[in-house]
Amino acid sequence: MSEATVVGTRGGEPRHGVRIAVIWAIATVIVLPLVIWVVGPHIPPGTMSQQTGDQHTVDVALTALATPIVLLIWVYFAYAVTVFRQSGSAIVDGPPITGHRRIEATWLIATSALVLGLAVFGTADLLTTGGAGGGEGPNPVAKPADWRGALQVQVIGQQWLWTFRYPSYGGVETTTLALPVNREIEFHVTSLDVVHSFWAIELGVKADAVLGADNIAFDKPLRTGSFQVRCDELCGLWHGHMNTTGQVMSTSGFTTWIAQQETANAAVTKTLPPYARVYFPTPTRNAS
Amino acid sequence: MESAGISVSQTRVSTPSTRSQLLGFNVIWAVALGIGGYALGHWLGSRIGINSRSQTETDTDDVAILMGLAFATLGWLIGLGFFNYPLSRIAGRPATLHEREEHGAWRYLRLCTDHKVVAVQYLVAVLFFFFVAGLNAMFIRTELTSSNATLIPAGNYLTLVGLHGTMMLMMMSAGVLGPLGNYLVPLMIGSRRMAFPRIESLTMWLTVLAGFVLLSAILLGGFPTGWTGYAPLADQARAGIDAYIVSFALIGISLALVGLNMIATVMTLRAPGMHWNRLPIFVWGMVTTSILAVLAAPVLLAALIMVVFDRTVETSFFISSAGGSPFLWDELFWFFGHPEVYILALPGFGIVLEILPVFARKPLWGYRLAVAGMFGVALMSFMVWQHHLFMSGINSDLRPFYMFTTELISIPTGIIFLNGMGTLWKARIRFTVPMLFALAFFFNFLIGGLSGVFLSDVTSDVVTHGSYFVMAHFHYTIMGGLVFALMGGIYFWLPKITGFKLNEKLGKIHFWAMFIFFNLTFFPLFAAGMLGMPRRVSSYNADLHTLNVFVSISAFCLGLSMLIFLGNLVWSIALRRERAESNPWGSKSLEWQLPSPVPVYNFERIPTITSHPYGYGSPEAPAVADFGPRVIAGEGGLA
Amino acid sequence: MVRVRALAVAATLSVLIALVVVYFIFFLESGPPAIAAVVSDGTARLTLQTVPTYGHHPFPDWVSYLAKDASGRWQHTTIFKVPAHAMVDVTIYQYDGASGLRNNFLSAVSGTTGDVEVINGTAQHGINPDNAAHTFTIPDLDVNVPLPGISPNAKNTCSVTPCTVDQAHNTITFSFRAPGPGTYRWQCFVPCGAGSLFGNGGPMQTIGYMSGLIEVS
């Protein structure tokens, strides 16, 4: 009895499992490379900094991981609704299958392995990229290799404006964020009132600004150019308008710029409180 | 309790006159006494004279407003008659369920202890507020068609955002527990009532009150915090936040009570023979949701009370320069907030796994695994909340741990897909409207769930936290998951609840329009988020303008599809009224063996359960229950 | 019977639609009117005043900005219209006492012609941060003008708007170049804001009081 000439049939009854597996395999072989190499490079956030490069790698990896899973579910359901349908108006029962120990166990083991792998991958990635640009609080665990020579920049969020202080340049405060290229930056993000969040989009930095907290994030811009800074935590009326444009400059350009800022703002710098990691405003007025 | 089971002989002969109905305890009195209560409370509050900043400097007395809302709640409950029974018991009168009326439209306008009436009231309330919140969403998308100009003034826009989010969250938390849970759980377990019928009605009327209190924020200047109510901003916000606080507190109380009622019912009122492994999966979904509701809601209440103190008597729970910390709100809120989103997700699982066997004509595949999955989700949902705070400056040692637990929770969540796939294996699928919604659930929840993985990985979260990616993620899981499942559940069970058929063609148009436009609206938002659009903003980078216009147009079409649904409801239930058979879907579940609509007393005799409700495919499988007069000696339960 | 039910449905629908329209018009679109700066020889003139208490319903105790319209009447609004690329001359009559800046950086003038403000006739580059009563700041244009408070011993203070020049005040004038067309927000950065334990309450977060828009066309 050789009815098994058609792939995926055995004894007249088609072997649905085999068919689904084959369709899935073909789909994965076609789609996965497209996802990784055609779509992948276009996945945000770009490569302006080391951190965005890391984020981009992780995003591509996660998308690549998700692709076969999505395809499996889609192929299975598409197959099921096409093949296992009841045509006509008669109501006919299907076979009384209530479970299958081995399939359940395999699924659980496979998903557990995936999750464990993801967790290990995520942790390793976080530690080797110096926190990947996210705010790590006042005692960061994941620091990039060159953190000792980092330029410290304090980001102060207030309703509804970002200002920036450079402690290594006399604590001068500016409303423009300029950074030297190819230098590790150590952002210290804090707030003077409610919770804001400092999001330098193309640089891949995101850290909440909380009053009384010093939230540290590391970042290393790799190219000159401008980047958007937006507030990422609802902070009141002008939350969506609390935007500014930052600049990554060449090292010499930055040195010139900061010197200009120091002279231009010399008078007001004297009135500022000494640089501190956090500021505690007395009720309804000054940060000190 | 002697009158716990209403016997058939107690049918009323005549309904009371309209005049006595009007003068009795009903919602009209509730509104009147509520407004009166607000006036009284407001006056009392203004007399308290604590001279705090909130009373003297804002020109809106927060103490007076909060007292007013508290007294309004009291007035509302008195007007509905919730104090009558406790007072009558205190006065020594016997226990009774005398509010269990059997006829008349008036019972829908007051405290009624018939769980089916409460469920219908709940359904109307949930759908009403769902549409109000949806309307707000349409206005939000209108504003977002322009990348900078403020069509709607900025402060009003934030209130819109807050109203949409808060109202949806509040209403959909009990969106399945209330309407479908209250209606179906007693029927599915073979009981004539819920364990605490008056509490059940209380939770419904508190929900209605909460919805209107939230809407009253408009009159108080709106609130700028969105549904998450982040604390230092909540402390300084204008008076509208008091309405947000009171309405959310009422919902918290209502949630805890509805969960308590559900658990007590399932534990104590199961019919003889209803062993735990014969319980329908929908009931398991309700039970696990209820566990989360009971445990998480009180934490929210505590946090809200702290905000009230900060705003009125000048404590500083959340103000760093006076000894508090904004992180306290972050932690308390999200400790509630994360179980809250599973309160939203689990009922969806329950509905979908209940519908699938009926239209696949196969038993639910992997029943025990499904139950274990639901309990796994419920348990682990308390261990993941810090993933909302990855960028907030929490102890960075904790981030890998919470990344791990968050990714771990995808294992029990994934089990539902295995159940779905197994149930469809070699099935005989009929594509009715409920089945279409159940299948769409899997499509949407897959995208929603996988996008959650992008958010659980800390590195990836740096890009996506607080952006439109998160928006897309939770809309896919909550709207694509819960709301689609709820729609499926409504199409599935409404013939049983009302006795009328819903128009199948309109249903299919509604489904396809909703499914297509839902995906067109929310899928591009993943891109918007990764390209740098934060949440809750009305101005964004001009590069994203075309994308936002596309999303807005799709959103308007999505809104139109919901109007088709509303039209179908009104047409089929109010106007056309075509009678449905008692079991139009051919289900083997217990509730479908009863007439449609279900009579007041549910069962003539409490049945003896003889099987689980998924006996498809085996002709010799026993029926789900034996309705005969025999009662198995030695087994308890009501008869 | 069907006719009655159909009528009931239609009536309910009409009521609901009417409610939605009311909601839109009276809540969503509610806000102060925009007034146009007075333009002569290509220069736009804006005349504003900052007051310690608005003095009228609904918020008599709130601090507020007011603006003079083309006919010379004081209007309670913070939305101004100026022509694109015009030089905008602003005069502010400041009637409020000082409460101090939260971020002293904003005590320096920026974005104006010569980076100065003229306070009671004297050109200054900034003020004592503790003496700030309000600021006029347009963050998107980097324009910041701190406004000094009146002396705490001043007699004849203003408590009900519109305030008049015989009451205690400081006069501040400055100019800035309007940008290209668009809508730009402006706000005050002194967080006195009334009623909140640490500032930025009520008037600070309400357009029409301490925050507004500049519509450039």
Mean pLDDT is highest, among A3-17, B11-25, B394-408, B479-493, for B479-493
CB B273 within 8 Å of CB C160: no
Question: A12: pLDDT confidence band, cut at 50, 70 and 90?
Answer: low
**Residue B8: what pLDDT?**
41
- Supply angle C-alpha B336, B221, C134, rounded to 5: 105
Kindly list the residues from chain A whose CB atom is less than 8 angstroms away from the CB atom of residue C199.
193, 281, 283-285
Domain assignment of residue A218, yes or no: yes
Kindly list the residues from chain C whose CB atom is less than 8 angstroms away from the CB atom of residue B218.
23, 27
CB A163 within 8 Å of CB A172: no
Tokens linked to B205: 């009327």
**Residue C193: what pLDDT?**
61
Task: Residue A169: give its domain's CATH number.
Answer: 2.60.40.420
Is the pLDDT score of B635 beyond 50?
A: no
DSSP string of B138-157, one letter each residue: HHHHHHTTSSS--SS-HHHH
Q: Is C184 on the interface with B (CB under 8 A)?
A: no
Which 8-state DSSP code applies to residue A145? T
CB contact under 8 A, A175 and C142: yes
Both A79 and A121 in one domain: the answer is yes
Helix axes A16-33, A50-83, angle to 10 degrees: 150
Both A107 and A40 in one domain: the answer is yes
Which candidate in A155, A159, A272 is best for mutational testing of the C interface (most C CBs within 10 A)? A159
Q: Is C81 on the interface with A (CB under 8 A)?
A: no
- Which chain A residue's Cα is nearest to C128? A271
Average pLDDT score over residue span B491-514: 95
**Residue A11: what pLDDT?**
62
Strands C79-82 and C211-216: parallel
Both A171 and A248 in one domain: the answer is yes
Sequence length of chain A is 288
CB contact under 8 A, B534 and A199: yes
Is the pLDDT score of B210 beyond 70?
A: yes
CB contact under 8 A, A267 and C129: no
d(CA A13, CA A163): 71
Which chains form contacts with chain A, at 3 or more CB pairs under 8 Å? B, C
Both A13 and A117 in one domain: the answer is yes
Q: B37 φ, ψ to 5°? A: -60, -40
d(CA B340, CA B334): 9
Question: C10: pLDDT confidence band, cut at 50, 70 and 90?
Answer: confident
Question: Which of B57, B319, B322 faces C195 most closely, judged by CB atoms?
Answer: B57
**Short-list B523, B300, B284, CA closest to B412:** B284
CB contact under 8 A, A206 and B425: no
Lowest pLDDT segment from A110-119, B416-425, B599-608: B599-608
Q: Into how many domains does chain A fold?
A: 2
Q: Where are the alpha helices (DSSP H) in B457-483?
A: 458-464, 468-474
Q: What is the pLDDT of residues C143-202, one digit of tens each?
A: 999 999 999 888 888 888 888 888 989 999 999 999 999 999 999 999 876 666 677 888
Question: Which of A159, A192, A268 faces C108 most closely, judged by CB atoms?
Answer: A268
Question: Which of C103, C142, C192 faces A158 most closely, judged by CB atoms?
Answer: C103
CB contact under 8 A, C99 and A237: no
CB contact under 8 A, B150 and C24: no
**Residue A288: what pLDDT?**
38
d(CA A268, CA C109): 10
Task: Provide the mean pLDDT of chain A.
Answer: 90
Domain assignment of residue A281, yes or no: no
Q: What is the pLDDT of residues B126-152, one digit of tens each?
A: 999 999 999 999 999 999 999 887 788
Q: How distant, in Å, are the alpha carbons of A32, B117, B457, B592, C97 from that of B606?
A: 57, 20, 51, 15, 78
- Which chain A residue's Cα is nearest to B238? A236
Residues of B with CB under 8 A from a CB of C: 53-54, 56-60, 135, 139, 148-150, 152-156, 160, 218, 221, 224, 232, 235-238, 310, 314, 316, 319, 321-322, 570, 574-575
Question: Which of A268, A271, A285 faces C102 most closely, judged by CB atoms?
Answer: A285
Kindly list the residues from chain C whose CB atom is less than 8 angstroms away from the CB atom of residue B152.
28-29
Instruction: Say how many C-beta atoms besides its own lie within 10 A of residue B323's C-beta.
Output: 10
Q: What is the pLDDT of residues B432-445, one digit of tens each?
A: 999 999 999 999 99
CB contact under 8 A, C197 and B59: no
Question: C57: pLDDT confidence band, cut at 50, 70 and 90?
Answer: confident
CA distance to partner chain B, nearest, from residue A50 (Å): 12
- Which chain C residue's Cα is nearest to B56? C195
Question: Which of A193, A242, A268 faces C104 most closely, judged by CB atoms?
Answer: A268
Is the pLDDT score of B608 beyond 50?
A: yes
DSSP string of B182-198, one letter each residue: HHHHHHHHT-SS-S-HH
CA distance to partner chain A, nearest, from residue B397 (Å): 6
| Helices and strands, counts by H and E, chain B | 22, 2
Average pLDDT score over residue span B481-498: 96
Both A181 and A217 in one domain: the answer is yes
Tokens linked to C109: 């003038």
Task: Provide the mean pLDDT of chain B.
Answer: 91
- Which chain A residue's Cα is nearest to B426? A84
- For chain B, list the domains and their CATH numbers: 18-96 (no CATH), 97-626 (1.20.210.10)
Global pTM value? 0.93
CA distance to partner chain C, nearest, from residue A272 (Å): 6
Question: B14: pLDDT confidence band, cut at 50, 70 and 90?
Answer: low
- Give the count of alpha carbons within 13 A of A218, CB side only: 26
CB contact under 8 A, C196 and B53: yes
Is the pLDDT score of B363 beyond 60?
A: yes
Domain membership of residue A78 as a residue range: 9-84+102-128
Lowest pLDDT segment from B505-514, C70-79, C199-208: C199-208
Distance of CA C57 to the CA centre of its chain: 17
Regarding predicted confidence, which is higher, B508 or A7? B508
CB B291 within 8 Å of CB B259: yes
The percentage of chain B sitting over the pLDDT mark of 90, rounded to a whole number, equals 80
Helix axes B398-408, A101-128, angle to 10 degrees: 160
CB contact under 8 A, B152 and C5: no
Q: Facing residues of A197 across strands?
A: A208
Strands C132-138 and C74-75: unpaired
Q: Where are the alpha helices (DSSP H) in B269-325?
A: 281-312
SS (H, E, C) B210-274: HHHHHHHHHHHCCCCCCCCCCHHHHHHCCCHHHHHHHHHHHHHHHHHHHHHHHHHHHHHCCCCCC
Question: Which of B224, B396, B411 faces A140 most closely, judged by CB atoms?
Answer: B396
Strands A244-249 and A178-180: parallel
C54's CB contacts (< 8 A; 6+ apart) are C60, C61, C62, C63, C64, C76, C161, C209
Q: What is the pLDDT of residues B311-347, one digit of tens each?
A: 888 888 998 888 899 999 999 999 999 999 999 999 9
Sequence length of chain B is 639
Average pLDDT score over residue span B507-526: 97
Q: Facing residues of A49 across strands?
A: A221
Average pLDDT score over residue span A41-61: 90
Is the pLDDT score of B15 beyond 80?
A: no
- Residue A159: which region, alpha, beta or left (left: phi > 0; alpha: psi -120 to 50)? beta
Helix axes B367-380, B410-424, angle to 10 degrees: 160
Which 8-state DSSP code applies to residue B180? I
Which 8-state DSSP code applies to residue B530? H
Q: C133 φ, ψ to 5°? A: -100, -45
Q: Is C183 on the interface with A (CB under 8 A)?
A: no
Kindly list the residues from chain C whose CB atom is less than 8 angstroms away from the CB atom of residue B156.
27-31
Both A23 and A71 in one domain: the answer is yes
Kindly list the residues from chain B whose CB atom is less than 8 angstroms away from the CB atom of residue A111.
410-411, 414
Topology (CATH level 3) of domain C34-216: Immunoglobulin-like (2.60.40)
**Residue C1: what pLDDT?**
67
CB contact under 8 A, B221 and C206: yes
**Short-list B75, B73, B69, B79, CA closest to B109:** B79
Question: B57: pLDDT confidence band, cut at 50, 70 and 90?
Answer: low
Residues of A with CB under 8 A from a CB of C: 156, 158-161, 163, 173, 175, 192-194, 236-238, 241-244, 265, 267-268, 271-273, 281, 283-287
CB contact under 8 A, A238 and C185: yes
- Which chain B residue's Cα is nearest to A65? B450
**Residue A284: what pLDDT?**
57
CA distance to partner chain C, nearest, from residue A22 (Å): 54
Both A28 and A56 in one domain: the answer is yes
Question: B42: pLDDT confidence band, cut at 50, 70 and 90?
Answer: very high
Which residue in this structure is represented by tokens 């007699």?
A: C155
Average pLDDT score over residue span B425-454: 96
d(CA B57, CA C202): 9
Instruction: Say how many C-beta atoms besides its own lie within 10 A of residue A99's C-beta.
Output: 17
CB contact under 8 A, C197 and B236: yes
Average pLDDT score over residue span B397-411: 94
Domain assignment of residue A91, yes or no: no
Both A158 and A47 in one domain: the answer is no
Which residue in this structure is represented by tokens 């900034």?
A: C126
Tokens linked to C175: 């100019």
Both A115 and A205 in one domain: the answer is no
CB contact under 8 A, C197 and B316: yes
Q: Is C155 on the interface with B (CB under 8 A)?
A: no
CA distance to partner chain C, nearest, from residue B557 (Å): 18
Both A156 and A42 in one domain: the answer is no
Q: What is the pLDDT of residues B158-202, one digit of tens each?
A: 999 999 999 999 999 999 999 999 999 999 999 999 999 999 999
Kindly list the residues from chain A whose CB atom is less than 8 angstroms away from the CB atom of residue C204.
159
C20's CB contacts (< 8 A; 6+ apart) are B135
CB contact under 8 A, B156 and C27: yes
Q: Is C44 on the interface with A (CB under 8 A)?
A: no
Q: What is the pLDDT of residues A116-160, one digit of tens each?
A: 999 999 999 988 888 889 999 999 988 998 889 999 999 999 999
d(CA B402, CA B404): 5
Q: For chain C, what are the domain ranges?
A: 1-30, 34-216
- Which chain B residue's Cα is nearest to C194? B57
Interface contacts (B, C; CB < 8 Å): 91
Both A185 and A121 in one domain: the answer is no
Question: Which of A193, A238, A272 faces C187 most closely, judged by CB atoms?
Answer: A238
Which residue in this structure is represented by tokens 């209803």?
A: B274
Both A253 and A160 in one domain: the answer is yes
Sequence length of chain C is 217
